[in-house]
Amino acid sequence: MQERYRTVAREGVHEIEINRSRFLCTLAPAATEQEAQNVVQRVRKEHPTGTHNCFAYVIGADGGVQKASDDGEPGGTAGVPMLQMLLRREVRYAVAVVTRYYGGVKLGAGGLIRAYGGAVGEALDALGTVTRQRFRLVTVTVDHQRAGKLENDLRATGRAVREVRYAEAVTIELGLPEADVDAFRDWLADATAGTAALELGGEAYQDA
């Protein structure tokens, strides 16, 4: 399982113009293939007069699902260069749709490859990416008396607190790199004089 991956920071659109053709690249995060397809369909509805709506997406931290479409451009000149740009930048869980409005000047195969790949690259630069790290979810249960100081200590030491719940006792959920779990267990025992309980949960990705 991948320790980390990079994805799109936010959804957005970036436009470039080459020889009077407009290329509008829509980039969006997508947790599933269905989400990616939904973005493609939405962009097609938003640009019904676009000459082509080519797309590429990569789903899975290991890039297990990869799809690309030339949408009528010569084979291999649009979707594949877009996909290659996502992979080269190590971007996962993301979809790119490039809408082309033809400007009357043919670009040739090499020109199209550069244009479609370049539109995705420029959009990634403009919108930015975030790195997500694999974490082990852990739940700490502690009494009310110690909870406030413990939460402050956790945040002060840069640990990723995800949720705090107050009931008879206080439960604090956080994410830890797998390699840090044993050291955290020792730290927690010291910080709470051995009164806190630690429960290991599943794995998730969160911003590194």
| Phi then psi dihedrals of residue 189, to 5 deg | -60, -40
Tokens linked to 169:
């006792």
- Measure the CA–CA gap between 126 and 55, rounded to whole angstroms: 18
Mean pLDDT, residues 22-29 taken together: 97
DSSP class of 91 = B
Q: What residues are paired with 163 via a beta bridge? A: 173
Kindly tell me the burial class for residue 104, based on how many C-beta atoms sit within 10 Å of its own C-beta (0-12, 13-18, 19 or more). Answer: exposed
What's the rounded Cα separation, in Å, for the pair 54 and 77?
Answer: 10
Task: Characterize the bridge pairing of strands 65-69 and 160-166.
Answer: unpaired
pLDDT digits (tens, 9 = 90+) for 49-97: 999 999 999 999 889 999 999 999 999 999 999 999 999 999 999 999 9
Give this prediction's pTM.
Answer: 0.75
Number of other CB atoms surrounding residue 116 within 10 Å? 31
Confidence label for 147 from pLDDT (cuts 50, 70 and 90): very high
Q: Check residue 49 and report its DSSP letter.
A: T
Confidence (pLDDT) at 204: 79
All domains of the chain in start order, with CATH: 4-127 (3.30.230.30), 131-207 (3.30.70.240)
Asked whether the predicted pLDDT for residue 1 surpasses 70, the reply is no
